[in-house]
Structure 1
């Protein structure tokens, strides 16, 4: 997703993509939260060859929090910077309380001409990881970085001081700032607390997680990987969904009756004074709360989920 505005991606489970699994960059006002981004396809059909990457993230006012990256060779994420829209002062990205597990030859990097907060994330190497102590690798001297309170599994000295080895590469000494860039308010936990919350709540959890997400979360918690491809057996880096047993069987109940096919069941529309034969009322705001009628219905479906 790029060159759009006012985007919210919440509680999605994304896996088995070519190139990247989830790229969100160069948008205005975007948020990705409580998502699982796992198992990009490495040795697959990308024209450039092996390409099992997590995502390119950035934007003009972009927030990424409480997400899980697992089992990618690189780009967890690649911070996009301002290289496409060319307005460095507007590229402000807040990346906090995410969990990053089992990156391959690289993890997070980039940030050219951007302003990045990297705060209270949990980094845990896995069977495929090479730079096991890496938080991020800035790609040039034009990016600005506020980096603090990140937990790096197995490296207590970097956890205590993220700049004592977690920021790596030729340009590690450039762009350091001591105060965070402006960002929307996000309830922020310590990295260790966020680790538990993300593993318990991220992804498509309603009404229940599927077998793929349950396996991914178990592997993150235990520091293991069940499957692999040309990268290596049990590396976690796969080449096809067939490496992990193929597409899971997802059972579904019968959908409630929706005469006008506007996404809101007849029973809900009648209860809230709407017309079950008018498809256009989904975009109205019956109770004047700032959300469309369809948004209110969808929000009710998950009203019992705390995060």
Structure 2
């Protein structure tokens, strides 16, 4: 009898601990107001020092490279412009990068790749690779980490993929632009076995394929995929099981697009889909048709009747047409869009009439200089101070 009571107490205690753990996860502080998805609870550099980027040089005191070289920092920007980097940058863990603090047109990190580590917050940044990188290089790498959110970032000109995520968990990309992958692959993103990934309200544009390739456990919500080449969203099509929730996205064909807005799924891709639309007629009007089971069955996916992935900090889900308007208005480093992002948004708004999958960044128009400013307006000073305050 005593042994029986002990087992009951252990069971009750275990249930209580599990409930308490779930409550703690849902009650912990968000990275910032508006953070959603699996990466919403990243804390970044909230307990560390504030580092001011004061110049656009590649290395040395006051540079972006130096700013992210030490863990536990909140990085703010006293300058705007193009930070041209020759070698890759590795961001240390427990870092907040507050791109919204930059004056003028903000900042671009251009010329090579940037890799990130665990517990990181990145907001309103532009990361652009170059044809001068090695041909297997990606612009942004989020490998083997956990707890990261990228918000209102622009990621372009990767040679293998623009974005790579491998073996990571608790990641959010929200309100980002992932576009214009360049030679040799010109691909959007490769996700290799990450878990708990949220991608929402992002623009995938002018990539030949992989928007993304999702060998992943992923919730893919309210995104827009425009002017994909041979394929739009790509399944994992591997021996391992993958679980993809594809909810209320808009797939829009452009000048370079095939009819395969989804593709390369196998039975190991377990797909829940709901409320998606595909506009394939390239007529300049948003008038897509609903995506149906047959679209995925043709791609040989295994269809599910309920979601496999739902983050504690859930995404506020819109219908696909509203999500399109939201992406047009807000995706990318949109406090003040630069020429590259304005061009891409212009392609999108043509709804099939314009856009191109380029081989090099120069063919796309190259990286122009931004409005360089070291003098902050009262508005940008207030924004800078608010960002620092919120990171504490």
TM-score where L is the length of structure 1: 0.70
Asked if 1:144 corresponds to 2:270, the answer is yes
Residue matched to 1:36: 177
Distance 1:116 1:166, change over 3 A: closer
Q: Is the 8 A contact 2:296 2:303 kept in 1?
A: no
Q: Is the 8 A contact 1:133 1:152 kept in 2?
A: no
Q: 1:136 Cα deviation (Å)?
A: 3.9
RMSD: 2.9
Q: Is the 8 A contact 1:38 1:71 kept in 2?
A: yes
Asked if 1:122 corresponds to 2:250, the answer is yes
The residue matched to 2:363 in structure 1 has which SS? helix
> Of 151, 162, 178, which residue of structure 2 is paired with 1:21?
162
Q: 1:157 Cα deviation (Å)?
A: 11
Distance 1:26 1:135, change over 3 A: same
Residue matched to 2:316: 187
Q: Which runs of 5+ in 1 are unaligned?
A: 43-49, 82-91, 227-235, 257-264, 273-292, 299-307
Q: 1:133 Cα deviation (Å)?
A: 4.8
Q: Which runs of 5+ in 2 are unaligned?
A: 1-141
CA separation in 1, counterparts of 2:165 and 2:225? Answer: 17
Q: 1:190 Cα deviation (Å)?
A: 0.4
The residue matched to 2:245 in structure 1 has which SS? strand
Q: Is the 8 A contact 2:154 2:333 kept in 1?
A: yes
Q: What pairs up with 1:175-214 in 2 under 5 angstroms?
A: 175-184=302-311, 185-206=314-335, 208-214=336-342
CA separation in 2, counterparts of 1:16 and 1:9? Answer: 18
The residue matched to 1:188 in structure 2 has which SS? coil
Q: Is the 8 A contact 2:231 2:262 kept in 1?
A: no
1:206-242 Cα offsets, whole Å, 9 max, x none, are 2x1001111111111102335xxxxxxxxx1111111
CA separation in 1, counterparts of 2:332 and 2:151? Answer: 8
Residue matched to 2:390: 296
CA separation in 2, counterparts of 1:294 and 1:157? Answer: 43
Residue matched to 1:238: 358
Asked if 1:63 corresponds to 2:198, the answer is yes
Residue matched to 2:353: 224
1:225-283 Cα offsets, whole Å, 9 max, x none, are 35xxxxxxxxx111111112221111122166xxxxxxxx8xx88xx9xxxxxxxxxxx
CA separation in 1, counterparts of 2:156 and 2:370? Answer: 15
> Of 99, 104, 109, which residue of structure 1 is paired with 2:229?
104
Q: Is the 8 A contact 1:158 1:164 kept in 2?
A: no
Which runs of at least 4 in structure 1 moved beyond 6 Å after TM superposition? 155-158
Residue matched to 2:295: 165
CA separation in 2, counterparts of 1:200 and 1:101? Answer: 15
CA separation in 2, counterparts of 1:186 and 1:20? Answer: 26
CA separation in 1, counterparts of 2:182 and 2:280? Answer: 27
CA separation in 1, counterparts of 2:296 and 2:349? Answer: 22
CA separation in 2, counterparts of 1:77 and 1:62? Answer: 12
CA separation in 1, counterparts of 2:306 and 2:145? Answer: 29
The residue matched to 1:94 in structure 2 has which SS? strand
Residue matched to 1:134: 261
Q: Which has the higher strand share?
A: 2
For this pair of structures, how many residues does the alignment match?
237
1:22-75 Cα offsets, whole Å, 9 max, x none, are 223421100011001111113xxxxxxx31000013622110000000001111
